Structure 1
Amino acid sequence: MPNNQVLLTSRRFLPMFLTQFFGALNDNVYKQSLLLVITYGWFSQTLGNVSTLNNLAALLFILPYFIFSATAGQIADKYERSRLIRLLKILEIVIMLLATIGFFLGQLWLLMLALFLMGTQSTFFGPIKYAILPEILKPNELMSGNAIFQSGTSIAILLGMILGGAVIAISQGEFIWISLTVIGLAFLGYLSSRAILKQPIPAPDLKVDWNFFRTSFQTIRYAKSLPMIFLILMGNSWYWFYGATYLTQIPQLTHLHLHGNENVVSLLLTLFSVGIAFGSWMCRKIGGAQVNIKMVPFGAIGLTVFAFYLAYSLTLLPAVSGDLYTISDVLNGGAAYYHVMAAVALLGISGGFYIVPMYAMMQAHSPHTHRARVVAANNIFNAIFMVSSAIFSIVILSLLKLSIATLFSITAIISAVFTGILLFKLKPMAKQAADNNAH
């Protein structure tokens, strides 16, 4: 049974982990700083109102996943992956230099272009990072590796949001500091990528199809031809739908129900992220080293039960007015606030139980020569589900004028039905695959 600490410090795994960590950290530092620049009107010129620009920024970052994921999967299967990663990290440095020009010239369109290019860079990196894990890890290390990856990514996202906000707040309009931060993080990512071991090429004779849309349909069709893999991809994508639905509402939930300020938003995001990291770690501890779905049902149940708990806890909060609450006010506000915080943390833990085995299953059971293209299909479905989550939330909250608690309750019911059907179909397939591997 692999020791997580030994795995984390191994020459095979550590450079890949650090490269992923710095990439996720930089993505979120840049996105958060850009959103704050837009929100607080640091540029005299505007291309639209704040809400429109924030939604446009979110769309520009996710759009490349629709367009380029399938081609990215082909490239990751055709070429040597450690070299591809280094090239992508050099591209990240170039993109951050472009962003720096945008900051100093006060050109929002340049910053938006850099955001789109960061999304594109992440799109091409995604299939590589998940396809490379089964190559650098032993079969009994795959669960541990995914647990560490998910934990590290959750912490990097959280730290990125905090760091982006902190640098913007401290700099007081001096863009040199945020520019040095994002360029420095990109450079650290490149340095760590140089230590990644050279990888075997799974499909050197593959001919890359540069017709992005045709390749996307072919990639999706291929994923659908693998019944167990397709179910796993649907399970992964549901997690992104669910997570996007909840995380997007945290700022509004904090303002309307907890009467909290921006620091209280950060507190809830921290609880959620730490919950995912803890759940990912516990998933490996309880579920064992072998790839299996033992913990997925517990995660699925938690995603439903604790969603209802969160919805219920919102009804316990007192009506307040006056100045927005600080973290200290919330911590001293009584049991009702602790119910909300506990519910958010438990949702994060449930997410860790759910997603770590699903990603390990995807990697372990994807055909070796098509593994990166399977990850690409996963990214396409994730993007579709995340956009669907935004539309779903708009319909519930804006068109039907229902409450956030109602949105959470409806999502919990859908989650119970979706994951219930998914696990009913997936469990016998996973058992059959485990039996085949055993023989």
Structure 2
Amino acid sequence: MNDRPTPAAQAARVEETGHGSQFALLRQRRFAPFFWTQFLGAMNDNVFKIGFTSLVTYQASRFSGVDPKTVAFLISAIFIAPFVLFSATSGQIADKYDKAVLTRWVKTFEIAVMLVGAAGFWMHGAPLLYLCTFLMGVHSTVFGPIKYAYLPQKLANDELVGGNGLVEMGTFVAILIGTIMGGIAAGIGASDAAASTATGTPPGAWWLGGLCIVIALIGRVASSFVPPCASLQPALRINWNPFSETWRNLRLAHGNRTVFLSLLGISWLWFVGATFLASFFNFAKDVLWADPDVVTLLLAMFSLGIGFGSLMCEKLSRRRIEIGLVPLGSIGMSVFGIDLFFASHALPAASHLLSVGEFVGTLVHWRVLADLFLLAMFGGFYSVPLYALIQSRSAPSHRARIIAANNILNSLFMIASALMAMGLSAAGVGVPGIFLTTALLNIVVAAYIYALVPEFLLRFVAWVLVHTVYRVRLVNAGRIPADGPAVLVCNHVSFVDAVVIMAESPRPIRFVMDHQIFRSPLLGWMFRHAKAIPIAPAHENPALLAAAYDACATALAEGELICIFPEGKITRDGEMNPFRHGVTEILRRQPAPVVPMALRGLWGSMFSRHAASGQERPTRRGLTSRLTLAVGEPVAPADVTVEGLQRTVSDLRGARR
């Protein structure tokens, strides 16, 4: 049973709250208890890891056999090892059982794990702390598929971006708070030998252990308010062999090419993020000449950046899953990662470790902070649409196992990140060099993914166009079907009509395109990758015309959207040309609903043929043009006539051209 809210219930909620803001979810039981449960779990992870890392970096003498230069990478590798070993099993468990019940079991387990960690802090026992790190990795491994499978089961499609944005923001704010708390607790009494207890354990270690236990207890209380979340596959037989099930999960994820490459894209983000986060202690100590409090400041800027970027996604995407933000995110990550390398070489020498006040009092350090904030902000633009895309395009009955496959890939990429960083460090490459290497690799990986799935790049081009050159107003855009076959018909005003429609559609569209435009160097490249269908008049190429109609029928039979401009050519005078019979020919081969649409305001823009018309410019336009995309009621295939469609489109357009 899927307990996702119906569109009517969602509309009622929006009416009740007065707005559709993502923050309204924080007042609803279907989201709020779950949000705070995952928030507290992420916070506890970081109180423990940052406390552990800080102690062994700045108090290495208390821990025998620990190398402070590589311990941060080792802790990261130990933490993510369970993702490789147990993700496949945890995905099956999340698909088979009620996710609320599983959440409570996981939080109970966290309490036991933190008792082990507290003993490690109090005894300064590195083996116990490494064991706790591994067990916290197990905790996160089991909870990951629950978290990302819970959201699409409880949220409507147009809430997924906002919900994921809140979760991403909450995770990194929790990282920030956990970092601050862990760093402060670890430093209590560290430099005061007299403050140590008779056993030689400073007060900071006692504070860390107690803090981890208390947060785990509060998280368990929050989890008790998570509402039931029914199993989507209760009859599933669990395969307890992690190796065969891991391979099966990866094959399952590979079944949908776009989803699988999105998983790789998210895993690459974790590679980048893990490299930066694990390097911050050595970056602060060896490059910035700063004390542990500055590490907290660096992590604060990083966390605030990704939190801000995650929250901005809903506004930038208009509550839709806008994958055009993904290339924008990858570009920003590389630009500011490279600049961070150069900023790290423009720093003044220091005679002692700088405090936070001394650090922020030097202007050149603000460039470092800005680079970290902006790099992370673009990381938020990158990650949120990918998570929402995976959740929306994965089969509900297999969604948790797809997320488990994502966790497996994430862990492999993070282990590779730790190995790369440790290898570069052993080769004498400093932390800025590791940052530069990662930023340059990001360019290569991004180019590879976008070459394999041009949909990301096409949506980026379309998104940039309609957010810079045009300001688009949508009228009844919800009438474009979110799934199932349909034929979209629209008036033809400019050379960018298809790009505007592509940018405003909730899903990919197969455009029926004039064969000459299809063969042009720039637009042709774009529409070939968008799987446009070239068409020609019967007197020019009857074989291509027949092939186009057959391709449209096949696309509709496979549940796709196609879009046709029935005028057959761009208007030269702003008025609509007579509609041709292409739509009825398509429907004769494969019936499907027809959705009429109209573009208003493109006539007279830089991409229209207004300049060639000899007419006076109707309006004075600045850098951006206002335009409207109006969508009419779907028409049943049996009721479609060419004349009726033209009247409907003309009425939708109105007097404004």
Q: TM-score range by the shorter chain?
A: over 0.9
The answer to whether residue 256 in structure 2 is matched with residue 229 in structure 1 is no
The one-letter code of the counterpart of 1:92 is E
149-158 vs 108-117, greater mean Cα deviation = 108-117
The answer to whether residue 455 in structure 2 is matched with residue 428 in structure 1 is yes
Q: Write out aligned runs for 1:52-63 (5 A).
A: 54-63=72-81
Residue 96 of structure 1 deviates from its aligned partner by: 1.7
Cα separation, 2, equivalents of 1:396 and 1:104: 34
The structure 2 residue matched to 1:342, chosen from 367, 370, 391, is 370
Deviation per CA, 1:86-125: give whole Å up to 9, x if none.
0111111122223334444554433322221111111000
Corresponding residue for residue 323 of structure 1: 352
Quick check: which one's strand share is greater? Answer: 2
Cα separation, 2, equivalents of 1:384 and 1:124: 16
1:111 to 1:339, Cα distance in 2 relative to 1, 3 A: closer
Root-mean-square deviation (CA, aligned residues, Å) is: 2.4
Q: 2:92, 2:238 within 8 Å by CA — same for their partners in 1?
A: yes
The one-letter code of the counterpart of 2:365 is Y
Corresponding residue for residue 416 of structure 2: 388
Residue 321 of structure 1 deviates from its aligned partner by: 3.4
The answer to whether residue 164 in structure 2 is matched with residue 141 in structure 1 is no
Corresponding residue for residue 417 of structure 1: 444
Q: 2:166, 2:311 within 8 Å by CA — same for their partners in 1?
A: yes
1:248 to 1:426, Cα distance in 2 relative to 1, 3 A: same
The DSSP-based 3-state class of the residue aligned with 2:188 is helix
Corresponding residue for residue 375 of structure 1: 403
The structure 2 residue matched to 1:122, chosen from 140, 149, 152, is 140
Q: 2:60, 2:68 within 8 Å by CA — same for their partners in 1?
A: no
Cα separation, 1, equivalents of 2:187 and 2:286: 24
Q: Write out aligned runs for 1:358-369 (5 A).
A: 358-369=386-397
The answer to whether residue 112 in structure 2 is matched with residue 94 in structure 1 is yes
Q: Write out aligned runs for 1:227-376 (5 A).
A: 227-318=257-348, 320-334=349-363, 336-376=364-404
1:118 to 1:256, Cα distance in 2 relative to 1, 3 A: closer
The DSSP-based 3-state class of the residue aligned with 1:293 is coil
The one-letter code of the counterpart of 1:326 is S
1:205 to 1:309, Cα distance in 2 relative to 1, 3 A: same
The one-letter code of the counterpart of 1:71 is T
The answer to whether residue 89 in structure 2 is matched with residue 71 in structure 1 is yes
Residue 165 of structure 1 deviates from its aligned partner by: 1.9
Residue 424 of structure 1 deviates from its aligned partner by: 3.7
The structure 2 residue matched to 1:9, chosen from 27, 47, 51, is 27
Corresponding residue for residue 82 of structure 1: 100
Aligned residues: 436
The structure 2 residue matched to 1:111, chosen from 123, 129, 133, is 129
Deviation per CA, 1:341-365: give whole Å up to 9, x if none.
2111110111111111111111111
The one-letter code of the counterpart of 2:443 is A
Corresponding residue for residue 214 of structure 1: 244
Q: Which runs of 5+ in 1 are unaligned?
A: none
Residue 370 of structure 1 deviates from its aligned partner by: 0.6
1:265 to 1:385, Cα distance in 2 relative to 1, 3 A: same
Q: 1:43, 1:106 within 8 Å by CA — same for their partners in 2?
A: no
The one-letter code of the counterpart of 1:322 is S
Q: Which runs of 5+ in 2 are unaligned?
A: 1-18, 190-194, 196-201, 460-501, 510-558, 562-592, 594-657
Corresponding residue for residue 225 of structure 2: 195
Residue 130 of structure 1 deviates from its aligned partner by: 0.5
Residue 176 of structure 1 deviates from its aligned partner by: 4.2
Residue 166 of structure 1 deviates from its aligned partner by: 1.5
Residue 23 of structure 1 deviates from its aligned partner by: 0.3
Deviation per CA, 1:383-410: give whole Å up to 9, x if none.
11111112222333432x3444443333
Deviation per CA, 1:246-279: give whole Å up to 9, x if none.
2223333333333222222221111111011111
Cα separation, 1, equivalents of 2:187 and 2:63: 20
1:212 to 1:277, Cα distance in 2 relative to 1, 3 A: same
Cα separation, 2, equivalents of 1:423 and 1:98: 45
Residue 234 of structure 1 deviates from its aligned partner by: 0.5
The structure 1 residue matched to 2:150, chosen from 107, 132, 139, is 132
Cα separation, 1, equivalents of 2:340 and 2:99: 42
Cα separation, 1, equivalents of 2:426 and 2:241: 37
Residue 53 of structure 1 deviates from its aligned partner by: 5.4
1:393 to 1:144, Cα distance in 2 relative to 1, 3 A: same
1:196 to 1:65, Cα distance in 2 relative to 1, 3 A: same
Cα separation, 2, equivalents of 1:327 and 1:216: 45
Cα separation, 1, equivalents of 2:437 and 2:58: 34
Quick check: which one's helix share is greater? Answer: 1
Deviation per CA, 1:29-73: give whole Å up to 9, x if none.
112222334445589673544456555433321111110000000
Corresponding residue for residue 160 of structure 1: 178
Cα separation, 1, equivalents of 2:438 and 2:244: 33
Normalised TM-score (structure 2): 0.63
The one-letter code of the counterpart of 2:169 is S
Residue 433 of structure 1 deviates from its aligned partner by: 4.8
Cα separation, 2, equivalents of 1:413 and 1:310: 12
Corresponding residue for residue 37 of structure 2: 19
The DSSP-based 3-state class of the residue aligned with 1:342 is helix
Q: Percent identity of the aligned residues?
A: 37
1:248 to 1:109, Cα distance in 2 relative to 1, 3 A: closer
The one-letter code of the counterpart of 1:149 is V
Normalised TM-score (structure 1): 0.92
Larger Rg: 2
279-288 vs 53-62, greater mean Cα deviation = 53-62
Q: 1:2, 1:140 within 8 Å by CA — same for their partners in 2?
A: no
Cα separation, 1, equivalents of 2:161 and 2:429: 40
18-27 vs 39-48, greater mean Cα deviation = 39-48
Q: 1:249, 1:404 within 8 Å by CA — same for their partners in 2?
A: yes
The one-letter code of the counterpart of 1:325 is L
Cα separation, 1, equivalents of 2:60 and 2:290: 24
1:181 to 1:372, Cα distance in 2 relative to 1, 3 A: same
